[in-house]
Amino acid sequence: MIQVAALDARVGTFRLRDITFAVPAGQYGVVIGPAGSGKTTLLETIAGIIAPQAGTVMLDGRDVTREPPERRRLGIVYQHGYLFPHLTVADNVAYGADDRAFAEAIAARVGASAFYDRPVRALSGGERQLVALARAFAVRPSVLLLDEPFSALDPRSRTQARRTVRALHRELGVTVLQVTHDFTEAGLLGDVAILLDNGQVLQAGPPDDLFRRPTTPYVAEFLGAENVFAGTVRAFAPSAADADFSGADELLARGHRPLEFRSGPLIIYAVGDAAEGSSHAVIRAEEITLSREMNPTSARNQFAGTIDEISTVGSFTRVSVDVGGVSLVAALTTRSVQELALAPGARVYASFKAMAVHLC
Amino acid sequence: MTRAGAGAHAARHSTAAHRTASVVAALLGSLCLLFLVAPIGRLVAGGGKSGVGELFTDAELRRSLWLTAVTATLAMTAGALGGTPLAYVLARRRFRGKAVVAAVLDLPLLIPHPVAGIALLLILGRESAVGRMLLHAGIRVAGSPIGIICAMMFVSAPLYISAAREAFARVDPRYESVARTLGDPAWRAFRRVTLPLSARGLIAAAVVMWARAVSEFGAIVILTYNPKVASVLSYDRFTSFGLTEALPVAAILSILALIPLVALRALRPDRGAGMDA
């Protein structure tokens, strides 16, 4: 388990301020943030490489704030493996291991057996990262810190390495904290996501919460939400048969209520606990569906508009729809776009559920 | 003139200027090289053969060369033992007054060497408190091989510290960080990772220090004229007997200087050594 409380650390002029979060034992935490946000500084402070100026670091319930790195029972893997170039691959993997046979088994597990006898200099970038991972796992750490370990790899090696780390994390019960600037990676890997910017935690929680229920519009935009609108909220009383609020019973039972959000020409219906007044509405692009005909269910969040831009990346396509001067972005499969024969200038209906609207 | 014509003219003009500059640079470079090489070449040509011959016949020369090699080696060892931790701290740690410490360490390189000898005499001579204490303990510094070692160390250790600091700085500290997280205490991480990765640089630094110690004259001559190291012997023969007598000793010293030069070439660090990532 990793528990960080009110942590302050300084490197040159950069400062980490009041960092607080926890990754429960055996879970996978992901720190997301842009370059220069303090991700590596945070990992190195947890590792004991950088001494904090204030706050505490607890690993597995033990206060290690003043302990040197070698007594923290953790491993660290940097973006570049930092394999010891004067040692063989085998000696690198076994560097800190008590049990050489276990180290060898881990090397085999990550697929490093094939180049076990090669000199470090002869390895490719992907191979180096695998060896670095094996070296870190071989000391049986209780906590593993990963500093963008896959970012220098080609897509295929990256997928392979991710899978291996995930599997070893589960098998060995290691608590992992990985930093990345790749939001997809955070969603793919994390049980807990920590959003870091300019040395501060903006939000921490399950990745789904961060992506779907960002606490501020800044977080929403930071995490790639394309539909973030400023406006005003007021309470609203729907009819019993209102399709928009079907399935919202659980939320309504928890004290959430139907709300109406107005932003320019848009009137959006939502379910939430936001106070009346100024607010922001966030709708993930994946939650918006497009159709050529008006949806017969008479869903309230349905808007007629004109397609002004279509951008395709592989099997996914983002369609921007102009609704009375406001742009709504929908993410569809490329196949759906073809089936609907969507093209710039075409008239479409964009719709989404009230449950898909997050007010913050 | 047409625009194309003007362009061609400018290009020709630029090529001619470039050629002139190249010729001037080559000339100046050649003159500088000649100035550095000619005296040593003349020395070796004039006294090299007889110098090699005197190695077999001149016992004083042999004794002097042996004394020089031994004292320089001891000075180098002492300098490396004390200078390595200092260089490491300067390369790795941030602390208040670091720039002042670094500047003070370079000072012996900047002061005239006889002045360095006088400074050492003030601290270690018979009249000084330390000198008296050492004499009381049976250790004579001035006028003994210990004085030679002290003088050599004073003028050459800063070179070692500076080069060793560079060697440590070339090793990314994250190697050490990784070793620490793998269970090594600071000292063991230094021994298992930083030291092997900076070894070539440290040996090169030691060779530079040794070579500088061997060539020292000014500080040694103040502290210990006798027994004579090679540089003092060549000076002594020049002042006592003239140029012809001094030539073989001077020539043999120049030839022996090739040893550290060759060693340094062999130790030239690999590109990216210690920077592997």
> How far apart are the CA of A203 and the nearest CA of chain B, in angstroms?
28
- pLDDT of B2 reads 58
B15 touches chain A (CB under 8 A): no
Residue B230 lies in a domain: yes
Residue B241 lies in a domain: yes
Burial of B92 (0-12, 13-18, 19+ CB in 10 A): middle
The C-alpha angle B120, B125, B130, rounded to 5 degrees, equals 90
Residue B240 lies in a domain: yes
Nearest to residue B252, comparing CAs of B46, B73, B100, B22? B46
Confidence band of B32 (pLDDT split at 50, 70, 90): very high
Instruction: Summarize the confidence of residues B70-91 as an average pLDDT.
Output: 97
pLDDT at position B102 over 50: yes
What predicted TM-score, i.e. pTM, was given to this entire model? 0.78
Residues B75 and B40 in one domain: no
Nearest to residue A2, comparing CAs of A36, A35, A31? A31
Domain hosting residue B32, numbered range = 1-48
Confidence band of B271 (pLDDT split at 50, 70, 90): very low
Radius of gyration of chain A (CA): 24
Q: Which of A44, A78, A95 sits opposite B182 (nearest CB)?
A: A95
> How far apart are the CA of A252 and the nearest CA of chain B, in angstroms?
49
pLDDT at position B50 over 90: no
Residues B20 and B71 in one domain: no
| H-type alpha helices, A48-124 | 89-93, 100-109
Q: Distance of CA A82 to CAs A47, A49, B271, Å?
A: 16, 15, 16
Residue B216 lies in a domain: yes
Portions of chain A given CATH number 2.40.50.100: 218-359
Percent of chain B with pLDDT over 70: 94
Confidence band of B197 (pLDDT split at 50, 70, 90): very high
Residues B27 and B106 in one domain: no
Residue B43 lies in a domain: yes
Residues B257 and B138 in one domain: yes
Neighbouring residues of A201: CB distance < 8 A, sequence distance ≥ 6: A18, A19, A20, A21, A194, A195
The CATH H-level superfamily of A2-217 is P-loop containing nucleotide triphosphate hydrolases (3.40.50.300)
Q: Which portions of chain A are predicted below pLDDT 70?
A: 184, 187-188, 239-248, 251, 297-298
B271 touches chain A (CB under 8 A): no
A75 touches chain B (CB under 8 A): yes
Residues B102 and B7 in one domain: no
Residues B15 and B66 in one domain: no
A214 touches chain B (CB under 8 A): no
Residue with tokens 């050599």: B152
B196 touches chain A (CB under 8 A): yes
Residues B42 and B81 in one domain: no
Instruction: Summarize the confidence of residues B263-272 as an average pLDDT.
Output: 68
B197 touches chain A (CB under 8 A): yes
Instruction: Summarize the confidence of residues B17-26 as an average pLDDT.
Output: 93
- pLDDT of B276 reads 39
Q: Which of A48, A68, A96 sits opposite B182 (nearest CB)?
A: A96
Q: What is the mean pLDDT of chain A?
A: 89
How many Cβ pairs within 8 Å bridge chains A and B? 61
Residues B14 and B111 in one domain: no
The C-alpha angle A307, A309, A311, rounded to 5 degrees, equals 130
Domain CATH for B156: 1.10.3720.10
ipTM for this prediction: 0.77
Residues B123 and B253 in one domain: yes
Neighbouring residues of B240: CB distance < 8 A, sequence distance ≥ 6: none
Residues B87 and B167 in one domain: yes
Say yes or no: domain A218-359 is CATH 2.40.50.100: yes
* Chain A positions in Cβ-Cβ contact with residue B181 (cut-off 8 Å): 47-49, 69-70, 72, 74-76, 96, 136
- pLDDT of B4 reads 59
pLDDT at position B274 over 50: no
| φ, ψ at A23 (rounded to 5°) | -120, 110
* Chain B positions in Cβ-Cβ contact with residue A84 (cut-off 8 Å): 175, 179, 193, 197
Q: Look at strands A302-313 and A316-323 and give their pairing.
A: antiparallel
3-state secondary structure of B269: coil
- pLDDT of B129 reads 92
The answer to whether residues B260 and B208 touch, using CB atoms and an 8 Å cutoff, is yes
Residue B39 lies in a domain: yes
A126 touches chain B (CB under 8 A): no
Residues B135 and B215 in one domain: yes
Instruction: Summarize the confidence of residues B30-41 as an average pLDDT.
Output: 93
**Chain A nearest-CA residue for B94:** A12
Q: Which of B181, B185, B196 sits opposite A75 (nearest CB)?
A: B181
